[in-house]
Amino acid sequence: MGHWTIQAVANWLLGGAMLLSLVGCSMKVPPQADAGQPVALIPLPQKHQPGPGAFRLQEGTSIVLSSESAELRELGEYLAALLHETSGRSLPVSASFLESMAKTRPQILLRVNPTLAVGAEGYALSIQEGRIVCEAKAPIGLFWAVQTLRQMIYQQQAGSAPGQELRLPVQEIHDEPTFAWRGLLLDMSRHFMSKDFLKRYIDLLALYKLNTLHLHLTDDQGWRLQIPNYPKLTSTGAWRQEPDGSTHGGFYTQADIREIVAYAQSRYITVVPEVDMPGHVQAALAAYPELSCTGGPFRVSNRAGVHPDILCAGNEQTYAFVENVLAEVARLFPGQYVHIGGDEAPKNRWKACAKCQARMKKENLPDEEALQGYFTKRASAVLQRYQKKPIVWDEALKGGISAGTLVQAWHGPAAAKEAVAVGAPVINSPRSAFYFDLNSGITPLEKVYHHPMVPAQLPAGQQQLVLGAEAALWTEDVPQERVDEMIFPRLLAFAENAWGHQAGSGYPDFRERVQAHYPVLERLGVRYGFGARPITFVPKYVVEQDAFAVTLEAGLRQVELRYTLDGTEPTRASALYTGVPVQFAQSTQLRVRPFKGEEPYGATAQASFVKHLALNRVPALAHPFHTAYAAGGGAALTDGILADNDYRKGFWQGFEKEDLEAIIDLGAEKEVREVSISFLQDTNSWIFLPTQVTFSSSNDKNSFKTLAVLKHAIPLKEEGPVRKEFTQQLPPTKTRYLRVRARNVGVCPPWHPGAGGAAFLMADELIVR
């Protein structure tokens, strides 16, 4: 990384005006005379020095270019269009800089300086009372400088009265990214997104200095890319029938793709296409079933999850298909990378396929994982013939990859370390922190902000192989109209993390800067979601009053909460939550909905509360719960709040691989007539019901008597989500201690796509009556 020297500053100013020495500081600009609106930039610049005064956009202001190159001219026109849109002023763009004119007429100078001590994407920005100077080593750096101005302008507009003069506070900024790859994955297979919607997102990515848009174009639920040699990929594979009988689909013509790519290039964003293979191909097999091991028939899937049918790796016709499709993709997308998937490819069809087994024998491959490696290397060779580099998901490492292949690690730090250990460059995309299809309760703003970009304890020689990171939005449950709320504001935390935020600035400072961006997002028509769980229920049982007292926390400052206690839907006229805990003495369903102004903002959250003998009795656990699924902590199993079928809402307590074993002390000997506990099964999320549940009782906490051993008949293969309550009626039984043991399946079964991986046990309230 370069450093901003005094000499570089002097060169940059062209006239030699003296600058203050640059030092890092908070983005909170102290009030200054005529300073305009304070600015809150995201990502946080590497160095920033505010000063007194402001630049005023006034009559006679011009945009001046340091040369008459086509690229610089295009950037100048882009800035002129931005200023016309936001101020109504039309600024001339020219390449004739005169120092004498700069002293009398305000100017915005865009200058490429190859000697500037920054990296390729770095820039220096000086806002003075009489002019603005943007300088960079390359045009992409100037573009990021303009995006910094764009943020300032939008914020100034959001805080000003209509028609007020545009004023930008005097300041000096020196900035460059730490990581070269800063991207967002959008999945348009599960839910199609329009061309104009993608162009809108390109502009949003640019605003926050992200430089890669990864398009997941094919999957089981839809094929979205026109391939002339295979017309049925879009005539058949792009459309599916939904469970309600409606049809969903769409695809991009080659003209659409060229337009999207060109628009992205004008914003210095690389579009990376993904054509998933050999798995996640049911849409392709619906069009061309002869590419499968079984011959079909198939239909485009309308359900999430991993599907058993994949491309036949023993059929030479498959490789002709792969070559023809990838050749077309290589021609359409000018970037150097093409993603070929490689994840979640079950091998059962290959094990039973004569062609695949013959291929393994011919190529001397020991198992089906090696067969996938063979497949991946042949697909990679196609790309290399077109001067492209392949990207694969980290599962492809099991079978081996070609030299030069980039690995996208979504299974966390261990997967990233496995990739760099074999010399593969890595894109860091941990599901636990950067997957925005997980709700904001699981991956809140703070978690996205803090997640390490480089795995801990990675040797120094391997750290340079971590190119950067991608956030991802998978859209099984997210149609286009809900994309904004899932991505924002979390994308802001990701953008700052991926750019490389200053150590010591801290999350509290970032959280305050985010507040200044909500009006900007509103101006841009972004219906952003929540930075944390939309509504958090914090229940407390008040023994003295024999009542619940529930505190409500909103995941967004801009909303107010309205609630009901009678099971009805909250409206604008319902009770307003004022910060005082909501109290009730009976079993109750509490329903809460956020409102912004007069309109609902987000879905209603509800929680059912039940009173019982074990309420608020903290269980002693033999095995700790998983920290990601704490459900409120140690008292979660007896807090009186019941979970629904969605483990992501934070009411289920999870145990990874381990059994649940909990002992409840009722405080005194009590008569018990019923015990129950509920568990969840959601096989697509690696969650399984226990194989059996045992209830026992004791009066001394040492010797326990078995009350019941309960099993169930629900198949582990039933995808769910399925909630199962294990209840035992008892003759009146006096006891002080109750023990529940629930046996975890331990690891995912052999038929499961995560076979051998850790299985989760998700438990809800232990109810004693």
Which residues form the catalytic set? 344
Task: Yes or no: say if 549 and 542 are a contact pair by the CB < 8 Å rule.
Answer: yes
| Mutual angle of helices 368-385 and 354-362, in 10-degree steps | 80
Read off φ and ψ for residue 322, nearest 5 degrees: -60, -45
CA nearest neighbour of 445 among 455, 433, 432 = 433
Element containing residue 79 per DSSP (H, E): helix 70-87
Q: How many residues does the chain have?
A: 769
Element containing residue 151 per DSSP (H, E): helix 139-158
Q: Which residue has the tokens 């490492």?
A: 397
CA nearest neighbour of 767 among 625, 654, 643, 611 = 611
As a whole number of angstroms, the distance between CA 48 and CA 24 comes to 5
Task: Yes or no: say if 327 and 346 are a contact pair by the CB < 8 Å rule.
Answer: no
Task: Yes or no: say if 216 and 198 are a contact pair by the CB < 8 Å rule.
Answer: no
CA nearest neighbour of 680 among 640, 643, 709 = 643
Radius of gyration of the chain (CA): 29
Q: Three-state SS across 92-124?
A: CEECCCCHHHHCCCCEEEEEECCCCCCCCCCEE
As a whole number of angstroms, the distance between CA 741 and CA 762 comes to 13
Q: How many CB atoms lie within 10 A of CB 575?
A: 13
The span from the first CA to the last CA of the chain, in angstroms, equals 66
As a whole number of angstroms, the distance between CA 623 and CA 609 comes to 26
Helices and strands in the chain, H and E counts: 19, 35
| DSSP 3-state of 304 | coil
Encoding tokens for residue 41? 């930039």
Q: 705-710 and 693-698 as β-strands: parallel, antiparallel, unpaired?
A: antiparallel
Task: Yes or no: say if 548 and 540 are a contact pair by the CB < 8 Å rule.
Answer: yes
> What DSSP string runs through 641-688?
EEP-S-GGGS-SEEEESSPEEEEEEEEEEEEEEEEEEEEEEBGGGTB-
Q: How many CB atoms lie within 10 A of CB 310?
A: 28
Task: Yes or no: say if 639 and 765 are a contact pair by the CB < 8 Å rule.
Answer: yes
Q: Which residues contact 148 (CB under 8 A, 6 or more apart)?
A: 41, 45, 123, 125, 173, 175
Q: 93-94 and 62-65 as β-strands: parallel, antiparallel, unpaired?
A: parallel
Task: Yes or no: say if 763 and 679 are a contact pair by the CB < 8 Å rule.
Answer: yes
Question: Partners of 466 in the beta sheet?
Answer: 426
Task: Yes or no: say if 62 and 110 are a contact pair by the CB < 8 Å rule.
Answer: no
As a whole number of angstroms, the distance between CA 521 and CA 204 comes to 9
As a whole number of angstroms, the distance between CA 339 and CA 664 comes to 52
Encoding tokens for residue 47? 């160095």
Q: How many CB atoms lie within 10 A of CB 184?
A: 26
As a whole number of angstroms, the distance between CA 608 and CA 587 comes to 8
